[in-house]
Chain A
C-alpha cells in the first residue's frame, strides 16, 4: 500500500469559527421562545383565572388563609372589618367570598387584594387615613379588584413569569434593571384596572353612604407618597391624573357631596396601645 502525503485545507468538522454570530442567533431564539411562552401562557393564565369559580379559588387559597387569622392590630382590625362588612352588604357583582381585612405592621403605603377575599392593609397607609370616608374608599377600591377579578389576573401572569425565570435558572430573581422593562408590558393593563377599580369604589361608596364626600382626599394622601417616577413605570396610575379622572367621574354621575364621618376615638389609625402579643 502506498502512502501519499496530502494536506487538506478544508475542515469539515468545524463549519464556522464565527462564535459571536452563533451567540446572537441562539440569544434571539431564546428571547423569542421566552416572549412567546410569556404571551401565550400569560394569556392562558389570565383567561383561566378570570373563569376560576370562587369556590375553587377559596379552596386554593385555603392553604394560605391561615396567615390571615391573626392581625398585628386587633382592635383596629375589628373597626376596618366593620366598615368592610357594611360596604360588602351594599356591593354588587362581588364573588361570594367571606371578605376579610387584615392589618399588617409594615411601613408600605399600600393595600392589596389577595385571593379569596383577603384584603391586606399596611400600617403605612392606615396611619395616613384621617376619616372613615377614606378608610371606606380604600377598602371599596380593593373590593373593585375582586369584582373585576383583577387579583387573579395578576397572579396568573406572575406565576407564568416566575415559572419561566425558574426554568432558566434565574430562581425568580430578575436583575433590577431588567425587571421594570418586563413589567412595563403589563402596566397598560394594570393602569386600566386601577382606574376601573377606582370607579367601582366610588359607585359602591355612594351606594353605602349616600354621597361622595371626603373620598377624593385619600388620593391626595397617595399623591404625597408617589415616587415621582415617570407615569408609565407606576402600577397605580399617576395619582394626580387619578384624582382628575375621578373628579370628572363624580361630576358626570352627579353624585352629591356629603358629610365627612370621623374615625372613632381617639381618631388616629392604628389605634394607640393596640398591638398584638402584649401580655
Chain B
C-alpha cells in the first residue's frame, strides 16, 4: 500500500510535470520568436571589429537566464544518459536558455548599433547528477557609432 502511494505520487508528479512543462516551453518559444523578429535588425556578432567607423561609445551588455529542469525532463534526461543518446529534452532547454539570454542582452543594449565580441556561457544548477536548472549567459560589447 505504501508502495502504491509512493509510486502514485511519483507518476502523477511525472504526468503533471509533463503537461505543465510542455505548456510552458511552447509559450516561451512563441514569445522568443516574436522578440527575435523584433530585434533582428540589431546584429550580435562574435567579431571584434565590424565596421571601420568612428565609435562614440561602447558598453558591456549581458543577458542571463535560468530555466528550471522539470521532473519529466530530468527523468527523460536520466534515461537518455543511460544509453548515451542525444538528450533532446536538454537540447530544447539549452536552446531556449541561450536564445532568451541573447534577447535579454539585446534588450539591454538600447539604441546600440551592434553588439560585438559576443560570448556565451552555460551552467548547470543542481547537485551532482540532478538538473535543478540551467543558466545561460550571453555578454558582449554594445557599440554606438558616430552618426
Contact = CB atoms under 8 A, between A and B. Distances in A.
A19 B73 contact: yes
B84 to A, nearest CB: 11
Given A30-B82, A175-B7, A176-B3, A23 B76 contact: yes
A5 B88 contact: no
Contacts of A19: 18, 21-22, 72-73, 76, 88-89, 92
A15 B86 CA distance: 11
Given A3-B114, A26-B80, A175 B3 contact: yes
B88 to A, nearest CB: 5
Nearest to A168: B82
B37 interface: yes
A22 B3 contact: no
Contacts of B94: 13
Contacts of B92: 14, 17, 19
A11 B95 contact: yes
Contacts of A16: 88
B25 interface: yes
13 contacts: A3-B50, A17-B26, A19-B88, A19-B89, A20-B18, A22-B89, A23-B72, A26-B85, A29-B79, A176-B1, A176-B3, A177-B4, A177-B7
Given A13-B91, A17-B92, A20-B18, A26 B3 contact: no
Contacts of A14: 88, 91-92, 95
B6 A5 contact: no
A185 interface: no
A7 to B, nearest CB: 5
B12 interface: no
A29 B95 contact: no
Interface residues of B, number: 34
Contacts of B21: 19
B43 A5 contact: yes
Contacts of A13: 91, 94-95
Interface string A18-43: 01101100110110000000000000
Interface string B114-145: 10000000000000000000000000000000
Nearest to A7: B40
Chain B at the A interface: mostly helix, strand, loop or mixed? helix
> 7 tightest CB-CB pairs across the interface, nearest first?
A26-B79, A176-B3, A175-B3, A5-B41, A5-B40, A3-B43, A14-B95
A175 B6 contact: yes
Contacts of B1: 176
A3 B145 CA distance: 14
Q: Which of A19, A27, A30, A177 has the most CB of B within 10 A?
A: A19
Contacts of B91: 13-15
A1 interface: yes
B38 to A, nearest CB: 10
B70 to A, nearest CB: 10
B41 A22 contact: no
Contacts of A176: 1, 3-4
A6 interface: yes
Contacts of B89: 19, 22
B44 to A, nearest CB: 10
A22 B6 contact: no
Contacts of B3: 175-177
Nearest to B86: A15
A3 B73 CA distance: 38
Contacts of B73: 19
Nearest to A176: B3
A14 B4 CA distance: 37
